[in-house]
Amino acid sequence: MTFHDRQNPSAAIDARRWLKILTAYRAPNPIRSILEIVVTAVPLVLLWIAMLASLQVGYWLTLLLAIPAAGFLVRLFIIQHDCSHDAYFQTRAANNWVGRVIGVLTLTPHDVWRRTHAIHHASSGNLDLRGIGDVDTLTVREYRALSFRGRLGYRLYRHPLVMFVLGPTYLFVVQHRLPIGLMRQGAAPWISAMATNLAIAAVIAGLIALVGWQTFLLVQVPITVIGATIGVWLFYVQHQFDETLWEKSPDWSHPEAALHGSSHYDLPQPLRWFTGNIGIHHVHHLCSRIPFYRLPEVLERHPELASIGRLTLAESLACVRLVLWDEGSRRLVSFREARAV
């Protein structure tokens, strides 16, 4: 029984009970899955063409169109994300090949992402297994033990400009070009990363030959930057919130960490649609094989899950200041709060 269980003895029982209940929602609908790809990819292509034409009107219109285009790109990433969990189609081969194709557009090598994201799911909320597929988070004690340079580095990493502007672009444009985290695990991660890189280069070369390199950059760069920022922000608030849960290995359990260490980011429509219901993250972590389009069905039939870890759009803005895990109060705190501990 974990510390959290001792505070609330029914927590572990409830988490495991919900895990069994949610298995009923795992079956994907192949027709629905294909339809979701169509209604996501086709508007993205049409918006790209519209942005191209808008350059004749003014770049302000191009940047305006880049916002919904980035939204559709994020939605494509959510589909790839489901493929990495074998949740989108009934066979692993279908999930992998669709994920690989989408990975060229999202700049994310699918097989590398699949492995690192699986590590994230297997260790989320475990203080002893941090470092792959998550936002680096130190405890107050660990932060205090750092040198001046170490503290400065962590503060820079956690600064909003780095975390949500510079970092996301670096992650998708630069870091994903190598199998970071899996570089010593054989040829498969390298094959995935290099094959994706070659496909990306071929697509870019084709578009540049068609429209010119300057036009290509004017259209694609804002889509990539905005989409990357949205994606990292979503990932951030899914685990970096006030009521999240962290445990050390002896006290950690996957069901409890999934249900109480992941937020329910209750976004308004149409943001919920553009983000592929990924805000229902506690349910997703508890049963990652549920297709994203069935997650609302879970909350409709089990409304008691909606209040667990619920975070509104307005409330999520305050999560930016939460940077350290205080093992004493068992919550994320700001640098200012950490100094007062």
On average, the pLDDT of the chain sits at 93
**Tens digits of residue pLDDT in 295-308:** 999 999 999 999 99
Does pLDDT of 293 surpass 90?
Answer: yes
CA distance 95 to 98: 5
CA distance 18 to 241: 22
Does pLDDT of 192 surpass 80?
Answer: yes
Residue 7's pLDDT band (cuts 50, 70, 90): very low
**Tens digits of residue pLDDT in 90-140:** 999 999 999 999 999 999 999 999 999 999 999 999 999 988 888 999 999
- The β-bridge relationship of strands 331-333 and 310-312 is unpaired
Coil vs helix vs strand at 185? coil
Percent of the chain with pLDDT over 90: 85
| pLDDT score of 98 | 98
Residue 16's pLDDT band (cuts 50, 70, 90): confident
Q: What letter does residue 332 receive in the DSSP assignment?
A: E
Does pLDDT of 11 surpass 80?
Answer: no
Consecutive H or E run containing 311: strand 310-312
**Tens digits of residue pLDDT in 35-71:** 999 999 999 999 999 999 999 999 999 999 999 999 9
Dihedral angle, C-alpha 142, 123, 276, 22, nearest 10 °:
-140
